[in-house]
Amino acid sequence: MSWETVIGLEIHAQLATRSKIFSGASTAYGAEPNTQACAVDLGYPGVLPVLNAEAVRLAVRFGLAIGATVAGRSVFARKNYFYPDLPKGYQISQYELPIVLGGNIHIVLDDGTEKDIAVTRAHLEEDAGKSVHENFDGESGIDLNRAGTPLLEIVSEPEMSSAAEAVAYMRTVHQLVRYLGICDGNMQEGSFRCDANVSVRPAGEQQLGTRTELKNLNSFRFVERAINYEIERQIDVLEDGGSVVQETRLYDSDRHETRPMRSKEEANDYRYFPDPDLLPVVIEKEYIETERAKLPELPEARRQRFIHSLGLGVEDASLLTGSRATADYYEALIASVGGEYKLAANWVNGELAAALNRDGIGIADAAGSPERLAGLLVRIIDGTISGKIAKEVFEAIWQGEGEADDIIEARGLRQISDTGKLEKIVAAVLADNPDQVEQYRSGKHKVLGFLVGQVMKATGGKANPGQVNQLLKQKL
Amino acid sequence: MQRQTIAELSRQLQDGSVKSRDLVERCLTAIEGPGRQLNAFVSVCGEQALVAADAADELLKAGRAGPLTGIPFAHKDIFCTTEVATTCGSRMLEGYVSPFDATAVARLREAGVVLVGKTNMDEFAMGSSTETSYFGPTGNPWDLHRSPGGSSGGSAAAVAAGLVPAASGTDTGGSIRQPAALTGITGFKPTYGRVSRYGMVAFASSLDQAGTLTLTAQDAAMLMEAMAGFDPRDSTSVDRPVPVYTDELNTSLAGKRVGVPREFFDEGLDPDNEQRVREAIAVLEGQGAKVVEVSLPNLGLSVPTYYIVAPAECSSNLSRFDGVRYGHRHQGAADLESLYKLTRKEGFGAEVKRRIMTGAYVLSAGYYDAYYLKAQQVRQLISEDFKRCFAEVDILAGPTTPTPAFLLGEKTDDPVQMYLNDIYTIGVNLAGLPGISVPCGLVQGLPVGLQLIGPHFGDTAVLNFAHVYQQQTQWHCLMPAPTGTPDAADNAGGAS
């Protein structure tokens, strides 16, 4: 029998606010345990939540970016359950009336296939703290720094049919939230993670199979591996005549398997009800329009523009629009390279990307500003230096040695295009290599490369390679 | 023991005829002496109070004092205070000291009142008799065998007995007005959102409102000017200016309309109690107000509605008491689940548990629509009833309670009987309205109250009506004799 897979994702994106969603405590990552939790986060008797307006703004921004409806009135509700890292015994979330409804995410798979994935809703909620089980001698520690951190939970329709689609969807949302500046996207720190609902059914069947929920997947690789493992597992169960149990499962990346976390029998009745401590969130039309006007050009639109207006290939355009910072860098760069868009793309996706990668830094921290890199490209375009020399100059710029022109001058890297000077060198090289000259003349034209190399060597790489070729051919 | 109003004490403090230290010492002596048998206080902070009194005296001497500077005061033990424990009448919070002050506490301190102690209350304000307190019941100064009402029974008893001139209270279903009525003092519950709830340990968030227990409406107005106002830390507090309540106290009632809801005068109302209330309404009429009968057709549903909404909210609000971060913790629990169960089993009393269970039930899957959602709809209907009335009248008047103070233990075995004691007060909380109870006479030697209810943010009108009434009557001056019977010889009170 052949099977088809149905996947829906719930992505938790930590909103990039400075303070928590219902308190003034900082959201900065990595502080000593429990130093960034105030009385409100700790759920002390008598405290009350006050909504952070910035969290609302960021959620609205997301809604507008995916073409969703931003609710004029949304309501916070309490999700009641006991857990040590949940200080109040309830999580403040949105239930019946979320802030964002509907919308679409356009995904492009590696093989070029494109697809729209519908978003059901996105709602605001607070994060819980975390339990720490190491170093407490049989007891557990609790760190509530995370408690109250604003999250946007983005719930997709079950419209993905493979792990690859799920990963493409997650990557696209990841790219989008970073573009919008609403989430730093840092997956190691837990700022962007997802739960995957996975089910399988016989191909062609309309009714959905029983699903399992894979919790807290915090890397693209884990999403892919966990889903693929789970698909295999479910198919095995069904083909053995069993049935899939609806349950929450945890992916163990070390053992590459999913394990049940809690089953439906122990499932909580969360007893949701509207939080009486918070007023409904009312968003006026004018506010929405103001935020809409402030939206940046979105990644997909920009990618299309790079392809159609700048004539870039799909791959270059996709790489360049992968992050807003990269695309911004590229656009600043091409402002002064006179239409050499492809050359600029090659440099950003090539040398620059390699250097960033090597040093493990983001493009915003790159030593070579777009203006500096432009100064270098201009010298390639006008023939002052060769592409090869340019790499040396780039490295010097990267090391902070200044502008391209200064480096070229200081190191004497200006390309030798003086015909008289080159003729002398060519003549000397031919005189020093009679064997190769003989070979060439007898028809072994491959040897020309060797001779060009000798001229380049003699000029310290500064000879204009095109001119050297031409001169050698003349003399031979 | 003598009782003096804030207004009188304020005059004496300002003109130097008395010192705050003297007043505070007098309070401390009364609390530790004759007040002991009332069990009105959970904690007393004498040393801090004397320090604060001396500071107040300095301000008074320097001429930098406000009208409340140096006035001794008690807070219901539901308000978080940094200088002394906040127990909420529960073993769960025995000895718990809050790291912050409630906004109401901070504002009153800022205005100069001197905190002398924290008063007893029903556990987490769940009760109408102060008998559910872990620290034992409070007695009614009029008859020690009777309840002072609740949940703000400690505050009411302390003020009625003259242990402090005034105290704070909270009112979720009548917890200020009912004990005020049963102890013969003035209990004011402002409009929901008028006083910040920040630092007030939550019972039912959509109903809880801080207010005052005082001898007079004028004192309530003076305190409200300090306590009321928007608080950025409470999203449900309302951002609108606080009126100068004391300026409006003497506004004439001539031409004003008083609505008398016929549902308030049902078969449950004690006939003598009804008589006192009708006499009080006649006093308002004598001041030129026009009395009309009105109807609140859905009021009969207010008790069942309340006993769904309030437990639902409390079941969630009290989840934080889990023994993990503060408060009582069962020692030696084998695992997490038993830590929760044993901590909450030991920490909470029977009434609190009853309400948590009721609340969890009405919110649970499959029951939510039938109970919680339905109750919210009925709540809306009750609000609309009041709204309709206030289109016609300026104020509503009726009894605060069906009967005078009941005996301690009389209703503890029958929660429904206990709940019905709040039948006239609960609707006001469901609608978020301001209400006051003022003493309007005696029934079998025990005080009963006239309840005045205003429209949304009609706090000024409520205080105005109450004050005018108290200018015409002496019931609020009637105090219990130290033996526990009314001292009629000194107080030839009654409607004048």
Q: Are B161 and B39 in contact (CB under 8 A)?
A: no
Of B197, B236, B364, the CB nearest to A271: B364
Residues of A in contact with B316 (CB under 8 A): 78, 80, 89-90, 271, 273
Residue A102 C-alpha, separation from nearest chain B C-alpha, in angstroms: 26
- Domain contains B357: no
Q: Which of A269, A273, A279 to mutate to test the interface with B (most CBs of B within 10 A)?
A: A273
**Predicted TM-score (pTM) of this structure:** 0.89
3-state secondary structure of B242: coil
Tokens 């209810």 map to which residue?
A: B453
Residue in chain A lying closest to B199 (CA) = A46
B246 pLDDT exceeds 90? yes
Tell me if A45 and B324 make a contact (CB, 8 A cut-off): no
Helices (H), A335-447: 341-347, 353-359, 370-381, 387-398, 404-410, 419-432, 434-441
A426 pLDDT exceeds 90? no
Helices A434-441 and A419-432, packing angle to 10 deg: 100
Token pair belonging to A310: 């700048």
- Domain contains B487: no
Tell me if A45 and B204 make a contact (CB, 8 A cut-off): no
Tokens 């399988």 map to which residue?
A: A200
What does the alpha-carbon distance between residue B163 and residue B169 come to, in Å, rounded to a whole number? 15
Token pair belonging to A29: 């990552």
Residue B340 C-alpha, separation from nearest chain A C-alpha, in angstroms: 9
Q: Are B164 and B40 in contact (CB under 8 A)?
A: no
* B44 CB-near residues (< 8 Å, 6+ apart): B28, B31, B32, B116, B117
Q: Which of A82, A136, A262 to mutate to test the interface with B (most CBs of B within 10 A)?
A: A82
Residues of B in contact with A269 (CB under 8 A): 364-365
Q: Are B207 and B430 in contact (CB under 8 A)?
A: yes
**At residue A246, what is the residue type?**
Q
Task: Please tell me the predicted confidence (pLDDT) of residue B488.
Answer: 40
Residues of B in contact with A89 (CB under 8 A): 316, 318-320, 322
Tell me if A44 and B326 make a contact (CB, 8 A cut-off): yes
Tokens 């053992």 map to which residue?
A: A255
Residue B11, Cβ density class (10 Å: 0-12 exposed, 13-18 middle, ≥19 buried): middle
3-state secondary structure of A332: helix
Task: Please tell me the predicted confidence (pLDDT) of residue B484.
Answer: 45
Catalytic positions of B: 76, 151, 175
Percentage with pLDDT > 90 across chain B: 93
What secondary structure letter does DSSP report for B370? Answer: I
Task: Please tell me the predicted confidence (pLDDT) of residue B5.
Answer: 98
Is the dihedral angle over the CA atoms B268, B274, B277, B281 positive or is it negative?
positive
Task: Please tell me the predicted confidence (pLDDT) of residue A199.
Answer: 97
- Domain contains B311: no
For the beta carbon of residue B387, count every other beta carbon within 10 angstroms: 13
- Domain contains B11: yes
Of B86, B233, B360, the CB nearest to A271: B360
Task: Please tell me the predicted confidence (pLDDT) of residue A350.
Answer: 93
Q: Are A76 and A97 in contact (CB under 8 A)?
A: no
B1 pLDDT exceeds 70? no
Alpha-carbon separation of residue A394 from A141, A353, A414 (angstroms)? 50, 12, 14
What does the alpha-carbon distance between residue A292 and residue A280 come to, in Å, rounded to a whole number? 22
pLDDT in tens, A130-185: 988 877 777 789 999 999 999 999 999 999 999 999 999 999 999 999 999 999 99
What secondary structure letter does DSSP report for B421? Answer: T
pLDDT in tens, A19-73: 999 999 999 988 999 999 999 999 999 999 999 999 999 999 999 999 999 999 9
Considering only CB atoms, which residues of chain A are within 8 Å of chain B?
39, 42-51, 78, 80, 82, 84, 87-90, 142, 269, 271-273, 276-279
Task: Please tell me the predicted confidence (pLDDT) of residue A186.
Answer: 95
Residues of B in contact with A277 (CB under 8 A): 202, 205, 235-236
pLDDT band, very low/low/confident/very high, at A408 (cuts 50, 70, 90): confident
pLDDT band, very low/low/confident/very high, at B494 (cuts 50, 70, 90): very low
* CATH number reported for the structural domain that contains residue B149 in this entry: 3.90.1300.10
Average pLDDT over residues A235-246: 95
pLDDT in tens, B299-355: 999 999 999 999 999 999 999 999 999 999 999 899 999 999 999 999 999 999 999
Of A50, A82, A88, the CB nearest to B233: A50
Of B198, B205, B336, the CB nearest to A276: B205
Residue A87 C-alpha, separation from nearest chain B C-alpha, in angstroms: 6
Task: Please tell me the predicted confidence (pLDDT) of residue A422.
Answer: 81
Of B200, B325, B360, the CB nearest to A46: B200
Tell me if B235 and A50 make a contact (CB, 8 A cut-off): yes
Of A49, A78, A273, the CB nearest to B372: A273
Average pLDDT over residues B217-234: 98
Task: Please tell me the predicted confidence (pLDDT) of residue B495.
Answer: 35
Residues of B in contact with A80 (CB under 8 A): 315-316, 319, 363
Residue scoring higher pLDDT (B101 or A438): B101
Is the ipTM beyond the 0.90 threshold?
yes
Q: Which of B77, B97, B317 to mutate to test the interface with A (most CBs of A within 10 A)?
A: B317
Pairing of the two strands B114-119 and B72-76: parallel
Average pLDDT over residues B376-392: 98
DSSP codes joined into one string, B94-136 = TT---SS--HHHHHHHHTT-EEEEEE--SGGG--SSS-S-TT-
For the beta carbon of residue A218, count every other beta carbon within 10 angstroms: 19
- Domain contains B374: no
Residue in chain B lying closest to A82 (CA) = B319
Cis amide leading into B151 (omega within 30): yes
B295 pLDDT exceeds 50? yes
Q: Are B276 and B396 in contact (CB under 8 A)?
A: no
Kind and range of the H or E element at A257? strand A257-263
Q: Are A463 and A455 in contact (CB under 8 A)?
A: yes
Token pair belonging to B91: 């073993």
Tell me if B324 and A84 make a contact (CB, 8 A cut-off): yes
Of A48, A84, A90, the CB nearest to B235: A48
- Domain contains B314: no
User: pLDDT averaged over chain A?
Assistant: 92
Question: What is the extent of the structural domain holding B293?
Answer: 6-298+380-477
B285 pLDDT exceeds 80? yes
What does the alpha-carbon distance between residue A87 and residue B322 come to, in Å, rounded to a whole number? 9
Residue scoring higher pLDDT (A457 or B313): B313
Nearest in space to A223 (alpha carbons), one of A465, A384, A12:
A12
- Domain contains B183: yes
- Domain contains B442: yes
Kind and range of the H or E element at A319? helix A314-320
pLDDT band, very low/low/confident/very high, at A364 (cuts 50, 70, 90): confident
Residue scoring higher pLDDT (A75 or A417): A75
Task: Please tell me the predicted confidence (pLDDT) of residue B319.
Answer: 98
Of B98, B318, B322, the CB nearest to A44: B98
Nearest in space to B56 (alpha carbons), one of B101, B100, B9, B99:
B9
What does the alpha-carbon distance between residue B171 and residue B180 come to, in Å, rounded to a whole number? 11
**At residue B426, what is the residue type?**
I
Residues of B in contact with A49 (CB under 8 A): 235
Task: Please tell me the predicted confidence (pLDDT) of residue B92.
Answer: 98
Residues of A in contact with B368 (CB under 8 A): 271, 273
Is the dihedral angle over the CA atoms B444, B445, B451, B452 positive or is it negative?
positive
B114 pLDDT exceeds 80? yes
Residue scoring higher pLDDT (B487 or A212): A212
Tell me if A84 and B336 make a contact (CB, 8 A cut-off): yes
What does the alpha-carbon distance between residue B106 and residue B233 come to, in Å, rounded to a whole number? 13
Q: Which of B320, B345, B356, B369 to mutate to test the interface with A (most CBs of A within 10 A)?
A: B320
Considering only CB atoms, which residues of chain B are within 8 Å of chain A?
79-80, 86, 88, 93, 96, 98-100, 102, 197-202, 204-206, 232-236, 312-313, 315-316, 318-322, 324-327, 336, 340, 360, 363-365, 368, 372
Main-chain phi, psi angles of B76, to 5 degrees: -55, 145
Residue B94, Cβ density class (10 Å: 0-12 exposed, 13-18 middle, ≥19 buried): middle
pLDDT in tens, A304-324: 999 999 999 999 999 999 888
Task: Please tell me the predicted confidence (pLDDT) of residue A267.
Answer: 64
Tell me if B232 and A43 make a contact (CB, 8 A cut-off): no
Distance of CA B461 to the CA centre of its chain: 19
Our count of domains for chain B comes to: 1
Domains assigned to chain A:
11-198+280-287 (no CATH), 297-411 (no CATH), 419-475 (1.10.10.410)
What is the b/e burial string over A265-283, where b = at least 16 CB atoms within 10 angstroms of the residue's CB?
eeeeebbbbbbbbbeebeb
B186 pLDDT exceeds 60? yes
Task: Please tell me the predicted confidence (pLDDT) of residue A266.
Answer: 59
Q: Which of A91, A277, A279, A282 to mutate to test the interface with B (most CBs of B within 10 A)?
A: A277
* A282 CB-near residues (< 8 Å, 6+ apart): A72, A73
